[in-house]
Amino acid sequence: MFFDNLRSEKFMHPMLNIAIRAARSAGSVITRGFENRSDLTISVKGAQDYVTKVDQDAEQAIIEKIQQSYPDHSFMGEEGGIIKGDETFKWIIDPLDGTTNFIKGIPHFCVSIALLYKGRLDQAVVFDPIRGDLFTASKGQGAQLNGFRIRVNNKKDVSDSIICTAFPFKDKSSFNQYMESFTPIFHSCGDVRRTGSAALDLAYVASGKFDGYWESGLKPWDMAAGELIVRESGGLVTDFSGGNDPIDKGQIVAGNPRMVQHLVKYLK
């Protein structure tokens, strides 16, 4: 059972507890790498898409920690791909969401871990190793930041809201199409942010730091954990058409119901 002011991991769902330990293990790898960025080995996966040995080592640290308790589970990781196992339990991992920020020395990135149980989001962790912020959620049990219950911002006035997004930097040919939606959203709200970490952006929506968020071209590991955390904080998560398939479609809109309705009006 969860409590509004949860101060100890011993009350958490056992699989969430293991996910937290895995996230912290990866966080240790990341913070050491961040302090020694001059030694980084950087590879290019695609247009504006980078990977470092820190990404790979952090993912391995996560998998090893989870497999100590659940050796038969399956995995989907950004760097390691698919590890086959019991499909009833599938872990979706982004060991370092915000790699470009990490490489550039911008302290805004995170570890993202989600668990699918029978194909549905069940547990989620987003961990910011620099700030020490730990966002967690269990299906039906609410969402927490550092052990305290969080809720999406219930702001009704869109005109002074802070919305977050990401530009189509991997496919700049679609920028003009993107701007057709961005322009009216920008004029209707207070301001727009672009931070470079989808998982952390969603966690910020869940905790009321951002009022809404939208992005397309995402992979499951970019948004799985963040989606559950937003839902469990009382938020609404949809695709651009207002449907319930953000992971399948690779596009996501998040916020309180009024904010999501406002954003979808321009996106669908």
**What is the DSSP track for 56-125?**
HHHHHHHHHHHHHH-TTEEEEETTTEEE-SEEEEEEEEEEEETHHHHHHT-S--EEEEEEEETTEEEEEE
Specify which residues 150 forms β-bridges with: none
pLDDT at res. 4: 41
Residue 155 makes CB contacts below 8 A (sequence gap 6+) with 161, 211, 256, 258, 259
**Residue 202 CB neighbours (<10 A):** 33
Specify which residues 152 forms β-bridges with: none
* Residues 254 and 216: beta-carbon distance below 8 Å: no
- pLDDT above 60 for 66: yes
pLDDT at res. 177: 85
Read off φ and ψ for residue 41, nearest 5 degrees. Answer: -105, 115
Query: What are 117's two structure tokens?
Result: 């149980």
Cα–Cα dist 99/89, whole Å = 27
Confidence band (pLDDT; 50, 70, 90) for 43?
confident
User: What is the CB-side half-sphere exposure of residue 226 using CA atoms within 13 A?
Assistant: 34
Percent of the chain at pLDDT > 90 equals: 79
- pLDDT above 70 for 238: yes
How far is CA 6 from its chain centroid?
Answer: 22
Taking alpha carbons only, the member of 156, 164, 184 closest to residue 267 is: 184
Confidence band (pLDDT; 50, 70, 90) for 2?
very low
* Residues 101 and 54: beta-carbon distance below 8 Å: no
Mean pLDDT of 183-191: 95
Cα–Cα dist 167/217, whole Å = 10
Q: For 198-227, how does the pLDDT look when each residue is reduced to its tens digit (9 = 90+)?
A: 999 999 999 999 999 999 999 999 999 999
pLDDT at res. 181: 92
- pLDDT above 80 for 171: no
Query: What are 263's two structure tokens?
Result: 């954003």
Confidence band (pLDDT; 50, 70, 90) for 6?
very low
How far is CA 202 from its chain centroid?
Answer: 6
Q: Is 104 helix (H, G, I), strand (E, B) or coil?
A: helix
Residue 75 makes CB contacts below 8 A (sequence gap 6+) with 63, 66, 82, 83, 85, 90, 91, 92, 93
User: What is the CB-side half-sphere exposure of residue 164 using CA atoms within 13 A?
Assistant: 22
pTM: predicted TM-score of the whole model, two decimal places: 0.91
Where is pLDDT greater, at 103 or 49?
Answer: 103
Mean pLDDT of 109-136: 98
**Residue 227 CB neighbours (<10 A):** 24
Percent of the chain at pLDDT > 70 equals: 93
* Residues 6 and 12: beta-carbon distance below 8 Å: yes
**What DSSP designation does 261 have?**
H
Mean pLDDT of 92-116: 95
Confidence band (pLDDT; 50, 70, 90) for 11?
low
Mean pLDDT of 101-105: 93
Mean pLDDT of 110-121: 97
pLDDT at res. 45: 57
Mean per-residue pLDDT over the chain, rounded: 91
pLDDT at res. 268: 83
Mean pLDDT of 140-154: 96
Q: How far does the chain reach from its first CA to its final CA, in angstroms?
A: 39
Taking alpha carbons only, the member of 216, 168, 163, 154 closest to residue 193 is: 163
